[in-house]
Amino acid sequence: MGVKETSGLSPRMQLILEAATRVVAARGMRGLTHRAVDAEAGLPQGSTSGYLRTRMALVTALTEFIAAGLIDNVEVLAGRQQAGETDEALIQSALDLFAGWLREPDALIAKAELAQEVAREPEIAAAMEPARERIEGIVGQILALAEVDDVQTSAQAIIAAMEGVLSAALLRPEPEREAFVRDIGHRIITAFIPQD
């Protein structure tokens, strides 16, 4: 989702942002400090602030990092769609995408924490916007192929519902999470697709 090798980042920045993801997942946004990231990354004190001078710079960079991971995952789904998969295969691909996020719970939790910041900080909202638009676009394309009415609203509804499902899944025992996401997610997505 967001904790893999990201193009354009130096190895040190990659390390810092991976550590920041873990810090936010473990301690929430209040726990995100330059010192905490340095400790989590195993770097000398002052390393993170050498790259990201202010807390806002750190939060914005983390948001862009998580968003880039989201976009990468959605691009894979877009490729499958362009390859001409059937509606059911695309639904399964979408469920694979959502279920895959469970395998990176730190990134998923960090994204949820950042979502709270989006409501308060325009810079954070701007950093997350490309990922939101791309995800809505891909889900919308899948729905358009399935001849769904009001594609944009339906795509937004599915994404909002799946974000809730993913949050609820994290409250369940780990072995149950993926089945929960796939079952509830399938019901949500197919509710919007016209039945023959």
Residue 183: predicted pLDDT: 96
User: Nearest 10 degrees: CA dihedral of 53, 25, 134, 140?
Assistant: -160
Instruction: Assign 119 to helix, strand or coil.
Output: coil
pTM equals: 0.80
| pLDDT greater than 50 at residue 102 | yes
Q: 87-97, pLDDT tens digit by residue?
A: 677 788 788 88
Average pLDDT, the chain: 86
The answer to whether 23 and 36 have CB atoms below 8 angstroms apart is yes
**What pLDDT does residue 121 have?**
87
C-beta atoms surrounding 176 within 10 Å: 10
The dihedral sign for the CA sequence 108, 113, 115, 121: negative
What pLDDT is recorded for position 81? 61
Q: Please, where are the H alpha helices in the chain?
A: 11-27, 34-41, 47-51, 55-82, 87-101, 105-118, 122-145, 151-170, 174-191
CATH assignment, 11-191: 1.10.357.10
Residue 74 has pLDDT above 60, yes or no: yes
Residue 68: what pLDDT? Answer: 84
Higher-confidence residue: 135 or 52?
Answer: 52
Nearest to 168 by CA among 73, 116, 102: 102
Quick: pLDDT tens for 16-34. 999 999 999 999 999 999 9
Q: Which two tokens stand for residue 104?
A: 């990176």
pLDDT at 63 over 60: yes
Please enumerate in sequence order all residues whose Cβ is within 8 A of that of 114, keeping only pairs 6 or more positions apart, or say none.
Answer: 24, 29, 59, 62, 63, 66, 124, 128
Alpha-carbon gap, residue 37 to 155, rounded angstroms: 36
**For residue 4, is pLDDT > 60?**
no
- pLDDT higher than threshold 80 for residue 132: yes
What per-residue confidence (pLDDT) applies to 82?
62
> In the prediction, which pLDDT does 192 show?
83
| pLDDT reading at 80 higher than 80 | no
